[in-house]
Structure 1
Amino acid sequence: MNYVGLIIVLSCLWLTAIASDPDDPLLVQLPQGKLRGRDNGNYYSYESIPYAEPPLGDLRLEAPEPYKQTWSDIFDATKAPAHCLQWDQFTSGDDKLVGAEDCLTVSIYKPKNSSRSSYPVVAHIHGGAFMFGAAALNGHENVMREGKFILVKISYRLGPLGFASTGDTDLPGNYGLKDQRLALKWIRQNIASFGGEPENIVLIGHSAGGASVHLQMLREDFGKLAKAAISFSGNALDPWVVQEGGRGRAFELGRIVGCGLAEDSASLKKCLKTKPASDLVSAVRNFLIFSYVPFAPFGPVVEPSDAPEAFLTQEPSDVIKSGKFGQVPWAVTYVTEDGGYNAALLLAEWNRYGKSGTVIEDLNDRWFDWAPYLLFYRDSKKTIKDMDDYSRRLRQQYLGNRRFGIESYWDLQQLFTDILFKNSTQDSLDLHRKYGKSPAYAFVYDNPADTGIAQALTNRKDINFGTVHGDDYFLIFENAVRNLELRPDEQLISRNFINMLADFALSDHGVLKYGECVFKDNVGSEKFELLSIHKDGCENKQYVEFP
């Protein structure tokens, strides 16, 4: 053997030795091969690990297929996860197209904590109305600083690519939910390789992520994937989650991108697979009546029972009543002004028909046109009269004879909170306490952030928005829409929330605690057991109706 050949052989042996070194925490062996992560000081990260085959070409608008490729070289797990292709509400300008179609990955964050040889696991589903958002947008520095659990962030298909549905077996929909479920299976099967405890996995999410958690839990075998779940400010019964009218939107999508008036669902899907993904996602703008309204034109649907790999074949309320869902401890939450995320859009300045002003002023003339889209009953009412009657009752109940304007904004925001979040949170908890066997918990959070989603959407600080969507959740997972610098009270709340997640994952009996407060189970309770979390602490309260 010549000198050069000897060097090459020795180099290969040296690299092999490194790759198989059990003392190298950045190197992880998986069935596909080895991957290398990054050392971030107080934690390790292993990002953008594929759990499914790229959903491209013939795999577009199909249930995800498990990742089958193998790595001959060491996989580079140091790249931040890509945004799934989306029309993003929070991207400024007219062109809101962001992301890539090849995006089905999980990203894992492991604390350095010498007191533990293995860790409980928190699996995370991001929010964004099933239309936008990304794993990378939810920070993990607060969580890693506490060093209590391994965090796994799930990326899944969004908008038309994740949820276009004709309601039949050819294009059943729910591809984003099927992505999430496959990711959970991957986590369960592989997390031990990263030092995670597969028997101690808690699934959590916020907004559409919270609704996704609930929908995942409605699968009867959910307990094989996770031991507990928490839905923050979103659940399966929210009116914007499982919607009707998907078939019409799917065929309209085809018309917009040049498929003409497709004869049937099969030909529509065949055509949609040939179009640029960017065209399909950019078509979202055609489903918005103004700004980003409605905020979820594509989302989960009820599939036909004979659909291949069907995810949801009954209305969520019927699934819960059947008792055939994942019987694991579950918590559902809301904040006192959750609806501020949606209502705040109406405070934006705009110039329409040559007239400047705020959108809320135009609501006086457009209430009957816009309310069904703003509040998601456009497709659930049988007639226009039913729709108008409901719009009239809502306006009368919350505003009486007053006009829409800055002075009546707080009441309009309460309408949005009740209809889009709070009422359905109570309805979900009510069903679980009647038909569930495992603990069902709830909390309400009331502690406004100095700046949050409402201020980000309106660029206004002269309005008291109260405690808005995300003011609690973004204390756990940092988000650019609110102050990253936490007040002293928020620092304590953040630690309490993070400890709550860790303890929930480790509890053998499904006990949920926040600080010194132990949640009370709603199953079998005549009154709602609701933990109130605020600036000064927490307290258990009972209600006949949510406050």
Structure 2
Amino acid sequence: MHLQLWSHCVTVLFFALRSQNAAAHNNEHINELIIDLPNGQIRGRDDDYFYSYESIPYAEPPLGPLRFESPKSYRTKWLDTFDATREPVECMQWDQFTVGVDKLHGVEDCLTVSVYKPKLQAGIKRQKYALPVLVLLHGGAFMYSSGKVNGHDYLMRHGRFIVVKINFRLGPLGFLSTEDAIIAGNFGLKDQRLALKWIKANIANFGGDPERITVLGFSSGGVAVHLHMLAQQNFTEYAYAAASISGTAFNPWAITHKSRERAFQLARNLKCPDVNSSQAIKDCLQRKPATDIVRGVQDFLVLGYNPFTTFGPSIESVEVEDAFLTRSPLQIVKSGNFAQLPWLVSYCAQDGGYNAAELLQRNRWGEELIEVFNDRWYDLAPYNLFYKDTMQSVEQMDDYSVALKRRYLGSKDFSIDTYLNVQRMYTDVLFRDGIEQAIRLQRIYGRSPIYAYVYDNPAEQNMGHMLSGRQDVEMGTVHGDDFFLIFNRSGRSNIRADEKVISRKFIKMLDDFAVKSDSLAFGGCKFVDNFGKDEYQLMFITRNACENKQVATLP
């Protein structure tokens, strides 16, 4: 009898303890999903191997009188727990990659951040330390795309940091400028600035380390990262390290010129009754539907989606109270007065696959756009290669166009047969030259580490194939072939075995970059710090190797 009673007690105790452990685990799980913020509590989602907290507002909706204004911090207090399981919406945009005539999508009320936190690996005790943070500024020529287009699966599976994605205004809603204090411009960059302040102030609530924030940008996002470094000397308050992938402030499309002319032309196109002053067009455009303003982008495109940055960062008037950028990047770098923090910068061997591949498309009359490009070279080249607004005369533009064609094609025409020459021209003019210029200058005038690489390992389906709609042209390693091994691209789930290895190495590289800056390595290859060097080196990363190579000598 006593034995039976003892056995019964043990059984009851076992189930009680198991129930208690299950309840504790459940409470622990709930606690991971509920986050306290100054505006109230938010509830996230369990995504199997990570937690996600999406669509968290960091700014008041930029609607009505707040359109074409600097963002205002989000002040609303939530009475109920905020639902952070809703997928983030995209900012309104005229999207190059949307198939069809109407490329409009997104909403104007879009200023949110999304936070993704990896779970602990099996067998590892609950962490007692804060995780480093990786903030993404997405690409898209300052015109389109969003954070959600860039997946975080690889990072959550293999990385050891919290990932934050920022939504910011794009196109004319984000970058329209009258070059005065009325419509100052750079609203998208000011959105980023406010979001970075939000991250710094709140990331500890998610288990992140506010002193270990790396800000990484791809393409126009890379330009934005560089502009934050140059224009905001206090950028070091919000970032510990920075990375610009395939884009810097020295690329010819990074700064938009003659913004005032474009703003007034947009107002005329939209039938504003009074286009005699900045205030008049601001009053008019604030009353227009946002859809009309964004659809107005297509009136500025001359061939396909070119020039791909029709509304982008601009130099602001010194009269603007909270100006983001009041001097050119070159002036800032030569002054030496910019944020000093470790900087990783890169490009792909054939980055110009964006936007050269679009020339392989056919128009509605069946002509390949590269043939149209050939026939109208002197008209189109200044737009496509971004020197239309920087040359002093038509004669100067024509002379430059002649020199470009001679350098890359000799006496040949633009055609399918010479496409790779054209792509090389796009690579040099739009990407490589400006990126290497940034490295050369910043190593002289800066005071912090500069690491750089060139990626040369073609993906089987890349951005060039997407833009051209063709698979019969070998384009090499084009724009994004490295970046999409870090932030996986929607629709490309299968990558080769060698790319999986490279992806892990990239993520480990960023892991290390997020916590230390005195050295950096990709696999077994250690980067050269180019700061202060008379000669600078780039690491060339290929399918099976990595090697540092000298690029140039001090001019």
Deviation of residue 243 (structure 1)?
1.9
Alpha-carbon distance in structure 2 between the residues aligned to 1:241 and 1:43: 35
**Structure 1 unaligned runs (5+)?**
1-17
SS in 1 for 2:547: strand
Deviations 1:173-194 (A, max 9, x none): 0000000010000000000000
**2:502 match:** 493
SS in 2 for 1:496: helix
Deviations 1:392-435 (A, max 9, x none): 11001110100111111111100000000000011101111100
Deviation of residue 23 (structure 1)?
6.1
Q: What is the aligned counterpart of 2:390 among 366, 380, 395? A: 380
**2:20 match:** none
**2:109 match:** 102
Deviation of residue 50 (structure 1)?
0.5
Deviation of residue 477 (structure 1)?
0.8
SS in 2 for 1:312: coil
**1:52 match:** 59
Deviations 1:296-335 (A, max 9, x none): 1000000011212100000011111111111000011100
Asked if structure 2 preserves the Cα contact closer than 8 Å seen for 1:165 and 1:247, the reply is yes
**Where in structure 2 are the equivalents of 1:303-318 lying within 5 Å?**
303-318=316-331
Amino acid paired to 1:498: I
Q: What is the aligned counterpart of 1:480 among 471, 487, 490? A: 490
Deviations 1:278-312 (A, max 9, x none): 11001111111121111110000000112121000
SS in 2 for 1:239: coil
Q: What is the aligned counterpart of 2:435 among 402, 419, 425? A: 425
Deviation of residue 512 (structure 1)?
2.1
Deviation of residue 19 (structure 1)?
13
Amino acid paired to 1:220: Q
Asked if structure 2 preserves the Cα contact closer than 8 Å seen for 1:19 and 1:27, the reply is no
- 1:523 matched to 2:531? The reply is yes
SS in 1 for 2:455: strand
**Where in structure 2 are the equivalents of 1:278-357 lying within 5 Å?**
278-352=291-365, 356-357=366-367
**1:6 match:** none
Alpha-carbon distance in structure 2 between the residues aligned to 1:437 and 1:202: 18
Deviations 1:515-545 (A, max 9, x none): 1122111111111211111111211111217
Alpha-carbon distance in structure 2 between the residues aligned to 1:22 and 1:367: 61
Asked if structure 2 preserves the Cα contact closer than 8 Å seen for 1:19 and 1:34, the reply is no
Distance 1:298 1:326, change over 3 A: same
Alpha-carbon distance in structure 2 between the residues aligned to 1:275 and 1:334: 40
Asked if structure 2 preserves the Cα contact closer than 8 Å seen for 1:53 and 1:67, the reply is yes
Deviation of residue 170 (structure 1)?
0.9
Asked if structure 2 preserves the Cα contact closer than 8 Å seen for 1:504 and 1:510, the reply is no
Alpha-carbon distance in structure 1 between the residues aligned to 2:490 and 2:304: 20
**1:443 match:** 453
Deviation of residue 96 (structure 1)?
0.6
Deviations 1:377-405 (A, max 9, x none): 11001111111111111001110100111
Paired residues in the alignment total 525
Alpha-carbon distance in structure 1 between the residues aligned to 2:269 and 2:82: 40
Alpha-carbon distance in structure 2 between the residues aligned to 1:212 and 1:415: 24
Alpha-carbon distance in structure 1 between the residues aligned to 2:55 and 2:306: 31
How high is the sequence identity, in percent, across the aligned residues? 50
**2:520 match:** 512
Asked if structure 1 preserves the Cα contact closer than 8 Å seen for 2:155 and 2:486, the reply is yes
Q: What is the aligned counterpart of 1:119 among 126, 131, 151? A: 131
Amino acid paired to 1:78: T
Deviation of residue 22 (structure 1)?
9.3
SS in 2 for 1:350: coil
Amino acid paired to 1:436: G
Deviation of residue 350 (structure 1)?
1.6
Structure number with larger C-alpha Rg: 2
Alpha-carbon distance in structure 2 between the residues aligned to 1:395 and 1:420: 15
Alpha-carbon distance in structure 1 between the residues aligned to 2:177 and 2:99: 29
Alpha-carbon distance in structure 2 between the residues aligned to 1:296 and 1:447: 27
**1:463 match:** 473
**2:19 match:** none
**1:410 match:** 420
Amino acid paired to 2:515: L
**2:18 match:** none
Deviation of residue 511 (structure 1)?
2.5
SS in 2 for 1:253: helix
Amino acid paired to 2:430: L
Asked if structure 1 preserves the Cα contact closer than 8 Å seen for 2:173 and 2:294, the reply is yes
Q: What is the aligned counterpart of 1:269 among 260, 282, 286? A: 282
SS in 1 for 2:213: strand
Alpha-carbon distance in structure 2 between the residues aligned to 1:84 and 1:511: 38
Q: What is the aligned counterpart of 1:128 among 100, 117, 140? A: 140
Deviation of residue 255 (structure 1)?
1.1
Which ranges of 4 or more aligned residues in structure 1 deviate by more than 3 Å? 18-23, 114-117
Alpha-carbon distance in structure 1 between the residues aligned to 2:513 and 2:237: 17
How does the TM-score come out when normalised to structure 1?
0.94
Asked if structure 1 preserves the Cα contact closer than 8 Å seen for 2:274 and 2:280, the reply is no
Higher mean Cα deviation, 201-210 or 18-27?
18-27
Alpha-carbon distance in structure 2 between the residues aligned to 1:164 and 1:229: 27
Asked if structure 1 preserves the Cα contact closer than 8 Å seen for 2:303 and 2:380, the reply is no
Asked if structure 1 preserves the Cα contact closer than 8 Å seen for 2:509 and 2:522, the reply is yes
Deviation of residue 68 (structure 1)?
0.7
SS in 2 for 1:223: helix
Deviation of residue 365 (structure 1)?
1.3
Alpha-carbon distance in structure 2 between the residues aligned to 1:289 and 1:405: 19
